[in-house]
Amino acid sequence: MQREMRPGQPTDRLEELDALRGLAAFAVLIHHAVQLIPHYETPAITGAGWLRYTMTQLTPLRIVEMGRPAVLFFFVLSGYVLVRALLRNGSPGLGAFAAQRTIRLGLPVAVSVLLSVALYAGFAEPALPAEWRERSLFTWLEPPTLGQVASNIALIADNDDMRLNVVLWSLVHEWRLSLLLPLVLLFRGRVALFVAAVLALMAIGIMGGATENRVLLGPQLHSTVAASFYFAGGIGTGAALALALGQDVPRLSPQAMIAAGMATLALFSMSSDLPVYAASALLIVIARQPGRLRALLRSSLLVGLGAISFSLYLVHVPVLVATMHALHDDWPPEAMAAFATLLALTAALPMYRCVEVPSRRLARRVEKRLARRSFATPVVRSPAPVPDWAPEGGMPSRVA
């Protein structure tokens, strides 16, 4: 590894990571859009079935066929950027941080659930044919109830209740686990101990019934808690990366970049959560390397996609399902899926501007106010340790 020295004042935002978040959200969108298209049987050509299985199950294309790797990447990235920010700025206190995260995630979640209810009222076809119900992304199988709306907004729904916006299963775990992230600062200089603690939480989750590599929520509320313990591995991987590297990352030699890229592709190809966590951490390090890849990720198109990624993640399933209900009798499935994809991308823009941005600003104001009340006397925070290969002063950590 060579030491990376960057001239000038570093920017306040890691746009390459925003772009990765946008690409992951787009992959989830494509994964769900593909579910609207019937899966035709493979023609009886020798090797065709094996080739399709290999390409969609045993290569990085799993991210489109399965969708799960992209969501696991979200967990790792969230753990990394949030802990990195805490290391630089210090903890505002558990209460202030919890309030900020609850507002930051909760308001857009609530709007996405209400959007789903409104789209159901406007477009749902109660007598949807069985062949289309099987491709409805487990959404609107029954008319929404008040209890279902409340449980989805409060992020306390189980597998059977999370039927207004199925992607909220990941927000259940991210919200719960992110509330505890200020405690990660207690492990500065103790990365190995932190990793051991994370693995212990995962083991508790598995013993509590979380099915390894497959669990989403669970059949009951306590099952969702066990699943949250299990997914501590994702948030914890990102947090451990931030603890180990500080504000910057070591610069990789060309040979190391090739090896890291090959390892990332191989790990993303495995149908297991732990290798995907490792691949996600490697991808973060690779994306932050100076060069063509980082320049590409910092292009305006990808940065813009990253900006609306959370809103896109929240609105795309209700939009896809509403389009399917409205057009399944009139449009070919492929055209309907493509049109629904464009509609979801379009709907993410007003969601971002009118809901996500205001909720983010409100969350920061509430955090600052609660943080001032929490500390009656000034608190001097010791700076986070900076690796000897990092530029003096490290890098700013604000990645929204």
Q: What are the DSSP calls for 286-319, one per residue?
A: HHTSTTHHHHHHTSHHHHHHHHTHHHHHHHHHHH
8 A C-beta contact, residue 78 and residue 277: no
| Phi (first) and psi of residue 251, to 5 degrees | -80, 130
pLDDT in tens, 214-262: 999 989 999 999 999 999 999 999 999 999 998 889 999 999 999 999 9
380 has pLDDT over 50? no
Which pLDDT belongs to residue 9? Answer: 38
Mean pLDDT of 22-36: 93
Which residue, 50, 34, 33, is CA-closest to 42?
Answer: 50
232-245 and 273-287 helices cross at what angle (nearest 10)?
30
Distance (Å, rounded) from C-alpha 20 to C-alpha 265?
A: 15
DSSP H helices, the chain, are 15-34, 48-57, 62-65, 68-89, 94-123, 130-133, 146-153, 168-178, 191-207, 221-230, 232-245, 254-268, 273-287, 292-297, 300-307, 309-327, 333-351, 357-374
Distance (Å, rounded) from C-alpha 273 to C-alpha 268?
A: 9
Mean pLDDT of 107-124: 96
Residue type, 17: L
Least trusted range by pLDDT, from 13-27, 41-55, 182-196, 243-257: 41-55
8 A C-beta contact, residue 137 and residue 35: yes
- Whole-number CA gyration radius for the chain: 22
**95-to-40, 101, 226, 256, 400 alpha-carbon distances in Å:** 52, 10, 23, 42, 20
Which pLDDT belongs to residue 129? Answer: 86
Structure tokens at 354: 């009118």
What is the percent of the chain where pLDDT is above 70? Answer: 84
pLDDT in tens, 276-290: 999 999 999 999 999
pLDDT in tens, 341-365: 999 999 999 999 999 999 999 999 9
Which pLDDT belongs to residue 344? Answer: 97
4 has pLDDT over 60? no
Distance (Å, rounded) from C-alpha 37 to C-alpha 87?
A: 45
The residue assigned the tokens 């990808």 is: 302
Residue 185 is classified by DSSP as G
Give me the residues paired with residue 251 across strands.
2
DSSP H helices, 246-272, are 254-268
Residue 398 is classified by DSSP as -
Mean pLDDT (the chain, rounded): 87
SS3 of residue 192 by DSSP: helix
Q: What is the pTM of this model?
A: 0.85
Give me the residues paired with residue 2 across strands.
251
pLDDT grade for 393, boundaries at 50, 70 and 90: very low
pLDDT in tens, 193-209: 999 999 999 999 999 99
Mean pLDDT of 91-115: 95
pLDDT grade for 322, boundaries at 50, 70 and 90: very high
Which pLDDT belongs to residue 99? Answer: 96
Which residue, 308, 290, 301, is CA-closest to 249?
Answer: 290
